[in-house]
Amino acid sequence: MKPLLDTLRAGTGYLEKHGVEEARLNMEHLLAHVLGCRRLDLYLRFGEALHETDLEKLRGLTKRRAEGEPLQHLLGTVDFLGLELVSDHRALIPRPETEYLCDLLIKRYGKAPPARVLDMATGSGCIGLSLATAWPESQVVLADISEEALDLTRLNTERLGLTRVQILRSDLFEKITGSFDLIVTNLPYIPCGEIPALSREVQRDPILALDGGPDGLDIVRRFLTDAPAHLPPSGWVALEVGHDQGHATAEHAQSLGFHQAEVRADLAGIERFVFAKRPLSE
């Protein structure tokens, strides 16, 4: 039997041949998953030999990863602001950019969190559940048009014990009642013509969570048009949009009467977050 280190090297080479980025890191995660240990613990076990049952399981996972199945789907969970969320084909994989948006919001409100929060197009529930965890006194509603995504949201909600959040199916604001001090959303924003060129991993995400129409902003514009009716005078919207859509989104919000519109950058310096306050005329 090969030592663990040799298995890691062989698997890394296999993934590299099949075009997987960060192949070594991917193999470390898969190995740790199979062995039920932390990734860093592997470095203390390089001389160990894997049991055949573990090797068989690892081969299957490595083959699926080489075929483009996302690592997060293979591991079954993803860490998001310290929460362990189930991640699978039913919703967009929670991404670091969205995690940073939540972190910005938590810091922005400080010790005075919004009383009512709506996470529109919640998907896995990552935004709404992380904000509900950070703001235990806030009323949080999670909405999505996809019943499959909402099944995943419910699963994550139950796993975290956040029974006080409300989950409902709605095509944007169709079934939404009342007003919210903060409405946050990561809507589909990929131009439909660009979807075929996306990485094979991203194409495993639901098309409903990706397709934003010809220029990517069809649903964003619908959202901004309808949102003011659900905002009090001091209410805000916060959006994550595509890498080149931040300023166009802010300008459209301003054209609808939103004020104090600002664009913020993610950790890579990409201006993809838009914050805007409810129109004065509403």
**pLDDT attached to residue 203:** 83
Render pLDDT for 177-234 as a digit per residue (tens, 0 to 9): 999 999 999 999 999 999 898 888 888 888 889 989 999 999 999 999 999 999 999 9
Pairing status of strand 116-120 against strand 83-86: unpaired
Assessment of whether the complete model's pTM goes beyond 0.85:
yes
Provide the CB-side half-sphere exposure for 248 (13 A, CA). Answer: 12
- The reported pLDDT for the residue numbered 281 is 65
Three-state secondary structure call for residue 2 = coil
What is the C-alpha separation between 58 and 216, in angstroms, rounded? 38
Render pLDDT for 109-152 as a digit per residue (tens, 0 to 9): 999 999 999 999 999 999 999 999 999 999 999 999 999 999 99
Both structure tokens of 199: 């990485």
Q: Smallest Cα–Cα separation from 10: which of 55, 48, 44, 74?
A: 55
- Cβ atoms within 10 Å of 226's Cβ, excluding its own: 14
Output DSSP code: residue 143. Answer: E
Instruction: Write out pLDDT tens, residues 223-244.
Output: 999 999 999 999 999 999 999 9
**Type and span of the H or E element at 142:** strand 139-144
Nearest Cα residue to 183 out of 123, 134, 223: 223
Percent of the chain with pLDDT over 90: 86
